A and B are shown apart, each in its own frame.
Chain A
Amino acid sequence: MPFRETESLLPSGSYYFSGNEAATEGALAAGCRYYAGYPITPSSEIMERIAVRLKELKGVFMQMEDEIASICSVIGAVWAGAKGMTATSGPGFSLMQEGIGYGAFTETPMVVVDIQRAGPCTGQATRVGSGDHQQAKWGSHGDYQVIALSPWSVQEMYDLTIDAFNLAEQYRVPVFLMGEESVGHLRERMDVRPKVTVFDRAKKKGTPPFGMVEEDGVPPMPCFGEGEKLLVTGSTHNDAGIRKTDDPLVHEKLVSRINNKVLNHREEIIQTESYYVDDATCLVVSYGFTARSALYAVNKLRGEGGRVGLLRLKTIWPFPDQVIRVLGKKAGKIYVPEMNRGQVAGEIMKYADCDVVPYFQTNGEIIDPRTIINQVRSLA
C-alpha cells in the first residue's frame, strides 16, 4: 500500500483554529496542491486561507467563474497529476453535481468540502443546517458510490480532511467532508502531530487505467504528461478507457465495479465511535455537530442512572449499516436527532431491527442538549 509518513507542514503543537482553517491545513498536509472554488458563505474562509497558503507552497489556487467550472477544473488538474479539492455550501454543491458524477464514473480522486447551511435554496446563508446528506449520496444521476465524512470538531475538520484525501486516492472516488456551518466557524483548540500519513496515488505503467481482474478492484491511475497514453471519457468505457456505449456487458461491469469497490470495502472505510453502548436500552445515533449535544445529553442521563448510549457516525456514506443493525438490536430503541428532516434517520430505519425515533430541527440553529435530554427521558 502506498501509504507514507511525512513531516507535518505546520510545526507540531496546539493551534486555535476555526474549522474552516483546520480543513484547509488538513488538505495541505495531505498533499493538496490544486484548489478551485467560488465564494460562498459559510465556506469562504477555506478559499481565503488556501489562496495564501497554496502560493507559499507553489501550488495552484483558482477562483473560478462558478462552482461548475471549479469542480471541472479540479478534475482536470487531478488527471494532470495533482491532488485537488474544492469547497462550497448547498447552492454550490447543487451546481457541482454533474461534475461529481463525472468524477465518480471516471474514478477521479477528489475532495469536496461542503460546509452546510440552512437550505433549501438560498435559505439562511449564515445559519446552520445539515440537509445535504442525501444529496451527497444521490445528487448526480445514475448509480455510483461516494464516501462522505461528518466531522464534529475543529480537530476532525483537520484529521478527516486528511482522511478524505487518502480515501479519495486509495479508492479513486470523490470524497465529501460534510461539515456544518457550526463547525466551520467554531474556533477551538486542535493539535497538529509531527507526522502525517498520506496515500500517494498508485501508478503502474502499462496497466489499464479503468479496469481490474477483481470485480471490486481499484485500478492504478496514470496521468497526463508522464508518458502514458490516456483516454478519459464520461461515456461508458472499457478497461483501457475506450468508449463502449452499446455493449451491455461493459456497462454492467463498469457500473458494478465503481459501486463494489466502495461497498465491498465498507469495513475498512467506515469509522464510528461508541459511548456506553454495552448496556444501553436506548441508543442515540448522531453525527456532525449534533453529536456534541448528544454526547453531553448522554453523559448527563448516565449521571442520573439512565441506560443510554451513543453511536457517533464519522462516516455517513457508505452507510454504517452493520453497526446500526447490531447495536440497534441490542438496545431495542434508537433515537436520532438531526438538523434536517430525517435524512439519516430514514437510512437507519432501513437497517435497524428496532424502533427508530427521529427528531427533526430545521430552524437554522443547533440542537440544544436539553432538547435531547428531555426527549430521551420521555422515551424511557
Chain B
Amino acid sequence: MAVMDYVRERFMPHIWCPGCGHGTIMNNLVRAIESLGLKKSEIVMVTGIGCSSRISGYLDFHTLHTIHGRALAFATGVKLARPELTLIVPMGDGDALAIGGNHFLHAARRNIDITAIIMNNSIYGMTGGQFSPLSGYGKTATTAPYGNIYESFDIVQLAKAAGASFVGRTTTYHVTSMMEMIEEAIRHKGFSVVEILTQCPTYFGRKNKVGDAVDMLNYYKDHTVPIGSDKKKENPALIERGVFVREERAEYCEEYEKTVKRAEKGG
C-alpha cells in the first residue's frame, strides 16, 4: 500500500504550526506501518488530547480520539476485547506523563501489546506553553515565568522500571532511526515505548529563546548520542538515543488467555 493511502488527505491542512516536529513523527510512523505491510483495518490508533493527539484525525486507521491522559486506558479495553488488532497510542508528554502518568505506569506493568509513542516536546503545546513534567529544571514556560524548579522525568528509566519490554528514544532529527525504531516497537510483542524528542518552536522554542525549528533540530543533533558513546562519558549531559530495552516477556493478553484456560479446567 502506498504511504498516502494511510493518510486522510481530505483533512489537510493539519493544525500543526510551521516547523512543528509532530508532522515529522506522523510521516515516519506512516512509513513504518507501510514497511510492516499492515492493513488499515488491522490498526486502531487511540489518542488523548493535545497537539500531538490530533495525529489520529489525519490517519486512516480505526481511530479513537479520547480525553486528556486516558488514551492508554481506552486502548487497553480495545486490545483485550479484540487482541488481534494492532494498537498504537501516540501521546504528548503532558498527556502521557502528567495527567496520564498512572495509566502509563500500569500499562507498562501489564506489558500489554500496545505501542506507546511519546511525542515529547517538553511543553504543553495545545494549551499555549505551560510547563510539562518533561520541561526540565530552569526552563521557562508561561506558568514558570521565573524558571521551572522541577526536574524532569526520565521516560526511558520510568518505562523500564515500570515493566515495558521495549523502550527506545530518538529525535525528530534522526528520522531514519525513528522509522526503524517505530517499526520494531510495533512488531515487538508487549508494551513498547518510543520516546521521540520533538520541537515545539511556537512555545518551547520562543519561551526558551532556543531559536527556530532548524536550531532546535540542530540541538537534537548536537546534544544526543547513540547509547554507549564515548562522548557521553566525557559529557554526561548528553542524551542517549537508541533501544534501551528489548526483552521477550509474558504479554498480558496471552497471560489472560492462560487464566481463562485454567478457569475452564476448573481452577
Residues of chain A at the chain B interface (Cβ within 8 Å): 34, 36, 52, 55-56, 58, 60, 62, 64-66, 68-70, 72-82, 84, 98-99, 102, 224-225, 227, 229-235, 242-243
Contacts and interface: CB of A to CB of B under 8 A. Distances in A.
B102 interface: yes
Given A224-B85, A243-B57, A55 B74 contact: no
A55 B103 contact: no
Given A98-B67, A231-B65, A64 B73 contact: yes
Nearest to A68: B70
Nearest to B252: A62
A75 to B, nearest CB: 6
Contact of B63 (A52, A56, A230): A230
Main secondary structure of the interface of B (DSSP, over half): helix
Contact of A79 (B42, B73, B78, B103): B78
Contacts of A68: 70, 73
Contact of A73 (B62, B65, B77, B84): B77
Interface stretch (B19-27, B224-232, B256-264): B256-264
B169 to A, nearest CB: 25
B67 A62 contact: no
A224 B75 CA distance: 12
Contacts of A76: 46, 64, 73-79, 81
Given A76-B81, A231-B57, A55 B259 contact: yes
A74 B65 contact: no
A224 B62 contact: yes
B116 to A, nearest CB: 15
Question: How many B residues are at the interface, by size bracket?
Answer: 35 or more
A76 B75 CA distance: 6
A52 B264 CA distance: 11
Contact of A80 (B11, B82, B103, B105): B82
Interface string B99-119: 000110110000000000000
A232 B106 contact: no
Given A62-B80, A80-B77, A82-B81, A99 B67 contact: yes
A232 B75 CA distance: 13
B235 interface: no
B60 interface: yes
Q: Counting chain B CB atoms within 10 Å of each CB, which of A68, A73, A98, A234 scores highest?
A: A73
B106 A64 contact: yes
A72 B67 contact: yes
B41 A55 contact: no
A225 B82 CA distance: 8
Contact of A77 (B11, B57, B62, B80): B80
Contacts of A224: 44, 62, 64, 78, 82, 85
B40 interface: yes
Interface string B49-77: 00000000100101111110010011111
Contacts of A230: 62-63
A227 B74 contact: no
B70 A72 contact: yes
A75 B46 CA distance: 12
Contacts of A70: 73
Given A99-B70, A225-B85, A62 B76 contact: yes
Q: Counting chain A CB atoms within 10 Å of each CB, which of B44, B75, B84, B102 scores highest?
A: B44
Contact of B62 (A74, A75, A229): A229
A146 to B, nearest CB: 17
Given A60-B81, A69-B103, A224-B44, 12 more contacts: A56-B263, A68-B70, A72-B73, A77-B81, A81-B82, A225-B82, A225-B85, A227-B41, A230-B63, A231-B62, A231-B63, A233-B65
Contact of A55 (B67, B84, B260): B260
Q: Counting chain B CB atoms within 10 Å of each CB, which of A36, A75, A84 scores highest?
A: A75
Contacts of B78: 76-77, 79-80, 224
A75 B57 contact: no
Nearest to A222: B62
Shortest Cβ-Cβ A-B pairs, 10 listed: A76-B77, A73-B77, A80-B81, A77-B77, A55-B263, A72-B73, A233-B65, A69-B73, A77-B81, A76-B74
A84 B65 contact: no
Q: Counting chain A CB atoms within 10 Å of each CB, which of B75, B77, B82, B84 scores highest?
A: B77
Given A75-B77, A224-B82, A234 B40 contact: no
Contacts of B65: 231-235, 243
Q: Counting chain B CB atoms within 10 Å of each CB, which of A72, A232, A233 scores highest?
A: A72
A12 B84 CA distance: 36
Interface in B31-47: 40-42, 44, 46
A243 B44 CA distance: 18
16 contacts: A52-B263, A55-B259, A65-B105, A66-B102, A68-B70, A70-B73, A76-B76, A78-B77, A99-B67, A224-B62, A224-B78, A224-B85, A225-B42, A227-B41, A232-B65, A233-B57
A229 B77 contact: no
Contacts of B11: 242
A78 B76 CA distance: 12
A53 to B, nearest CB: 9
B42 to A, nearest CB: 8
A335 B77 CA distance: 45
A34 B81 contact: yes
Nearest to A65: B106
A362 B263 CA distance: 43
A66 B102 CA distance: 9
